[in-house]
Structure 1
Amino acid sequence: MKKQILILTFFMAALLVGNNAFGQLSDGSPDLDYLDAVPTYCTPALPIDCGNGTDALAPLPGVSYPYTITSSSVGTLHWFVTDDASIISAQGTIAAGIELADGSSPYVLTADAAYNDPANTSATVNITWKSFDGLANNVILVVYNVDDVNCTDNMEVFRIIPQYNFTLDIASIADDGVNGGDVAAVEDCVNPIQSASYDGTARMLTVDYGTDYVFFAVNAANWQTSWMPDNFTATTNGTSTVTVTGWAYPADAATTGTWNTVGTDPVLATGYASAVNGFVAEGCIIVRVQVDHGSTTENLTAETINLTVNGEMINAQTTSYDGTYPDLEDGGGVACPNDLTSDNADYVITPRPDVDESTPTPFEDKTPNGD
């Protein structure tokens, strides 16, 4: 008899535990303020058309351009870039400071073997340029030609006034770091209730709906040395409080702690293994937005968080972010504009259940809606 009672007791205890566990959320912590893993997703960089991108005298940074001459007599052809006004100081003596092609120059990113070789005989040199102000700086490509019998010489110069094509593209990114919203906005369920208390005197149920963190991938393309994220604006079509709380390089986006500050901390080319002499063709950052529901936003309908981003590339001549090189939008074949609204993306927080009394009525009051 005692054995039967003991067995029955264990059975009832197990049944109660099972009934209590069914339908409950698993134990856990509030929404994490970092991604679950180092992201592999980055929204694609979309090309822009600002006019004639094939003009080697108005080159796009990061793009290699050929420069070719013909000559009636070629012994050697010395190709080099300078911003000095004095090029030759005496017969056969080049006085100009020659820009190196190792990335240390503010003008030249890379060049082929024909560049800055006094013994070169190639009639073509291929040069990839950096971004710089070609109006404020008299940057010229010189070809110095000594004839085939080493008797006399001649020279010509090309004036280089580059365009620039620094762009930003943005999409929401899922917590897993793999899926992104370049086609459709990422969706995630609203954070579960964090705490609830009932005041019997006031007859009021107070619920803390917690905080969500949503993330966006921003792809910065065609920039040199560094760029400053600025004018990042988060908005919502709901009533939660939204705040941009930082940005991180992808490798740092899956860790807790202090992220970089928008408007203060620049994105550095040294943060990307793909950088070539300080030039980054494409480089993603992850931006974090805090969505605070508090006790006032129940999220009974979907809430869309929108993030608009802007930035400017450093001006190498002033070593500052002075507005000379803001991110550009597509110009459709003419000069590309800069605006503060085009680069934006949505993240959708899906709603929690809407519970309404049927019988009996009413519910006790609950902040904020009085149900």
Structure 2
Amino acid sequence: TGTGKTAAYLLPIMHQICAAKEKSLVNTLILAPTRELVQQIDQQTEGLAYFAGISSIAVYGGGDGASYEQQRRSLSEGVDIIIATPGRLIAHLTSGVVKLNELQHLILDEADRMLDMGFYDDIIRIMSYLPAKRQTLLFSATMPGKIRNLSNKLLNNPEQINIALSQPAVGILQQVYMAFDHQKLALIKSILKEGNYTSTIVFVSTKEKVKQLYQTLYRAGFKVEAFHSDLEQEQRENILRAFKSRQLPILIGTDVLSRGIDVEGISLVINYDVPHDPEDYIHRIGRTARAETTGTAITFINEKDQRKFSDIEALIGRPIEQIPLPPDLGEAPLYQPELKRAFNGSKKPWRKKKN
């Protein structure tokens, strides 16, 4: 997160495009999991290529018929770099409007997230349209077995580069609250009311929870929006634009927001639910304290998520400061992750005993 890998692969490709004696109809294809990441890569491409005369197009679904036709026209004329989500690209490939037989470079950005979102078959199908002789780069924040299987299919004797997982930025103040699920709503309201935070992202585990928490906070008078895949593309863009311009102070979403979406000046990240994967914790809290600024990351831990959070502490190599609940919220669960292991999922005495 935030290491500059987009420029690291774009700049050498642009150099090759500028130096080439003959132009390919399409030189480079970049696949990414979400519309937002596709748009962001396209914006970076436009910025870096501004004086180089290199053309690019963002190809993604969610728009109206006019946007689809605009994509068709641009693709049929030829373009140096295509940045696309797999599903929408397949629609253009099957219609015959885009030819990739002269492709030089294939980039799979956030490949692990693409597989999590069910794009494996789409990626394999796209490969059938590509020339065998090409350069393929696969970027992944994690390397589970499914990514290794994909790399074995796509890559020929690849050079593997492992970069150690980056630790959370020094400028992030990390804190946790032990809280039962029924205490979380009152706790987040208290934090948002009393804290002096100008820009906040709240991460929850599912799209349904995003909608529920949004409704609750909206009715409580908070200026908040929910960000999820059921929204129209224009709605998603408007919400992100308002959040980036500080017109919207609170944004609620799933882990889609933790990858690839670069917003400066986020002062608070709240993990309403503990992420399932410890590395996702680093991606989430990495939304704050970017570019040597400071920020706060607060995580709510219920009695069931203690084992997961102890794995996070093991990953970052230190315990995270625990903050007591406000007295009016009642007693919190004890932090006893070792009991979770010992009892192997059976009932535990989480509540503090009364004297």
Q: Is TM-score (shorter-chain normalized) higher than 0.5?
A: no
Q: Which has the higher contact order (CA 8 A, sep 6+)?
A: 1
**Based on CA coordinates, which of the two structures has the bigger radius of gyration?**
1
Q: Answer 1 or 2: which has greater helix percent.
A: 2
